[in-house]
Structure 1
Amino acid sequence: MMSKADNMLSILWMLRSGKKMTAQQLSDELEIHVRTVYRCIDSLCASGAPIIADSGPNGGFQIMGEFAESPLLFDTEEQKALVHASVFAKEAGYPFTDALNRAIDKLKRYTNEKQLHQLERHSSGISVLHPPIDGQQKSFLQMLEGAIASGQTLKMNYAKGRDGTVITRDFDPYGIVHWKGQWYTVGYCRLRREMRNFRVDRITQLELTDQHFERPEDFSAKGVLLNQLLPDTLLDDSLVTVRVQGHEHVLNELRQHWLFGHALTDQSPGEAVFRLEPSSLQAFVPYFLLPYGKALTILEPDMLVMKMAEVSAGIAEHYRNMLSKSITPKGDRQ
């Protein structure tokens, strides 16, 4: 049930369309009692809104003069910006899309015809390409946001790395970050007793606990996430120099990647140099570079070249085995 203030604002928005509306029409539209409509209009008139009432068969309520054309809360540019922002939020997997949709529907519902036409034209002119998130991840994001606001500890089951081993821990969520197409939660891990970040798509279960926490006032989830995912300095002696040659569009994609872009130390036409952690060269880097095929050539280090050869050979062997099975005569399959 909407509050009196919400009802008053809704009536004001509806009358701004310039149309004459009866108390019954307003009542039906807002699903409130007719007496409530009259009380709200009396309050609006008392606050200075120039609403006039015409009696008779063609009667109803109207707003006088230029008030109907003046911006109410949001002008045209602000309305356009809100609609565009909603497109980005929904495509990024914003967990409260239902409420967002209701808000945008209200914005469109209570604008006049000219404003609505402009909104529809602007909203159809912008798109975002982003993999959709599933319902479970959306539910987890909602739980995380609620726990952050209430300072409530969560029991979390989290699948680690490539093997998918699930570990249960108590976790104090301090913030949620959307970065490079992924949602992360950052906070204090009571199992490891340190600040950690977790990818939301790897969470398998969340439960509220009876424990509570206080979030540090100067905490920055974004800052912690970047410090944990990216090397502190490109001059770290433990980092390995990676030199690659390739087509310019391939190198551009590498420069935009969250890890490679940060690790770039030198570039020239057709070549780029990065400084990366050794563990990443044995883990995900070969699998990230593999799809580029011959469009990319690794000049150094040798350890990455050998790892690429190993991974490629393993994939080639896998498909050779599949191919040999598919062409084996049926009579030989005993």
Structure 2
Amino acid sequence: MRASRLLSLMLLLQSRGRMSAAQLATELGVTARTVYRDVDALAAAGVPIYAEHGPAGGYELMAGFRTRLTGFTAGEAESLLFTGMDGPAADLGFGGQVAAAQLKLMAALPVAYRDASMRIRERFHLDAPGWYREPDDVPHLHAAARALWQDRAVEVDYRRWSPRPGVVRRRLHPLGLVLKAGVWYLVAAGAGPPRTYRVSSITGLRTLDEPVTRPAGFDLAGFWRGHVDRYEQAADAAVAQVRLTAAGLGRLPDVLGPKASRLALRTCTGPDADGWHHAVIPLESVPHAAASLLQLGAEARAVGPPELVDHLRETIGAMAGLYAG
């Protein structure tokens, strides 16, 4: 157990550079006193580790020192194969690099681990998009990823659906890309705090010669969790107002999914004198909401926003024309 911890400590310093005893203790799940003892043990074993004192001090490996000892366990080696998401990597322009890295990883593994890893690849596959749903067309994803990697600002033309539909131009500082249920989102800061932008709604993107300074302490995973929570609670998300029959209300979980349907049920009122219930549903985009409501047929009617009502009216009119006569 201690040998594994010593190796982890050494690899942390090798990959991240100078770290304080408190930071190392947090990463390793031990006390600072244990870190002091482990550092002494590494130094006694000949690892060139030294300490810098002061507010910005910490432990550091001597420049140029690297260990080739990684000490993969069987479980760690197998789990790495789950990180090879070929589809998303190809979307970002890294398909060739991922394939090459996987080949090198397989070649470096002991035979027993290599066989187990091959069993993983033969038995598990990640397919992010939902059923009967084509992945979004994201022609500007690669450019967005390149600007993000290079810490460059971008100017985008963005097709929004609310509060006023249309294409707007935004100057953004990219902070992250997130793949959610087969849909790519760009997290970026504009004139205000960071927001999310659906990449498929970007109709134009130009990388600017303007450096991006990431906000101190910004955590992409933490920001996204907060965004998802707010969106699912409709605290700051766009919503559609709908009227539903009792049958339509009962079918909502199958159409919207359990979380979105819980929002609708939480906001539901009625029935009114005509037997209709009134509720709100999350509005990810007008086409997405329209496609969901069309599944309910005559059991649902959109009341707002106007662009959703217009979209449904045009779609239903076009469908009726197909069956005229």
- Aligned-residue offset at 1:196: 3.2
Identity, % of aligned positions: 16
- Written as runs of structure 1 = structure 2, the 5 A alignment for 1:102-113 is 102-113=100-111
Residue 222 (structure 1) aligns with: 224
Change (3 A) 1:187 1:224: farther
Please, which runs of 5 or more residues in structure 2 have no aligned partner? 1-45, 47-68, 269-276
- Aligned-residue offset at 1:292: 4.4
Q: Is this contact kept in 1: 2:232–2:282, CA < 8 A? A: no
Q: Is this contact kept in 2: 1:260–1:274, CA < 8 A? A: no
Please, which runs of 5 or more residues in structure 1 have no aligned partner? 1-46, 48-70, 268-272, 328-334
SS in 2 for 1:198: strand
Residue 86 (structure 1) aligns with: 84
Q: Which amino acid aligns with 2:155?
A: K
- Written as runs of structure 1 = structure 2, the 5 A alignment for 1:118-129 is 118-129=116-127
1:115 aligned onto 2:108: no
Residue 176 (structure 1) aligns with: 177
SS in 2 for 1:217: coil
SS in 2 for 1:128: coil
- Aligned-residue offset at 1:286: 3.9
- Aligned-residue offset at 1:308: 9.9
SS in 2 for 1:216: coil
Change (3 A) 1:206 1:145: same
Looking at structure 1, the residues matched to 285 and 156 of structure 2 have their Cα atoms a distance apart, in angstroms, of: 29
Looking at structure 2, the residues matched to 240 and 312 of structure 1 have their Cα atoms a distance apart, in angstroms, of: 13
Looking at structure 2, the residues matched to 176 and 73 of structure 1 have their Cα atoms a distance apart, in angstroms, of: 31
Residue 99 (structure 1) aligns with: 97
Residue 318 (structure 1) aligns with: 318
Looking at structure 1, the residues matched to 302 and 167 of structure 2 have their Cα atoms a distance apart, in angstroms, of: 34
Q: Which amino acid aligns with 1:187?
A: A
Residue 295 (structure 2) aligns with: 291
Equivalenced residues, count: 238
- Aligned-residue offset at 1:315: 4.4
Q: Which amino acid aligns with 2:139?
A: Q
- Aligned-residue offset at 1:171: 0.8
1:143 aligned onto 2:175: no
- Aligned-residue offset at 1:189: 2.0
Residue 157 (structure 1) aligns with: 157
| TM, length-normalised to structure 1 | 0.53
**RMSD over equivalenced CA pairs, Å:** 4.7
Residues 175-221 of structure 1: per-residue CA shift (max 9 Å, x gap) = 2222232111122224xx56432111122332222323433224353
Residue 251 (structure 1) aligns with: 253
- Aligned-residue offset at 1:323: 5.2
The structure number with the bigger radius of gyration is 1
Looking at structure 1, the residues matched to 308 and 197 of structure 2 have their Cα atoms a distance apart, in angstroms, of: 28
- Aligned-residue offset at 1:146: 1.2
- Aligned-residue offset at 1:96: 3.1
Change (3 A) 1:227 1:81: closer
- Written as runs of structure 1 = structure 2, the 5 A alignment for 1:186-197 is 186-190=187-191, 193=192, 195-197=194-196
Looking at structure 2, the residues matched to 135 and 233 of structure 1 have their Cα atoms a distance apart, in angstroms, of: 28
- Written as runs of structure 1 = structure 2, the 5 A alignment for 1:257-276 is 259-260=260-261, 263-265=264-266, 276=280
1:75 aligned onto 2:73: yes
SS in 2 for 1:168: strand
Between stretches 100-109 and 222-231, larger displacement belongs to: 222-231
Q: Is this contact kept in 2: 1:175–1:185, CA < 8 A? A: yes
- Aligned-residue offset at 1:247: 9.8
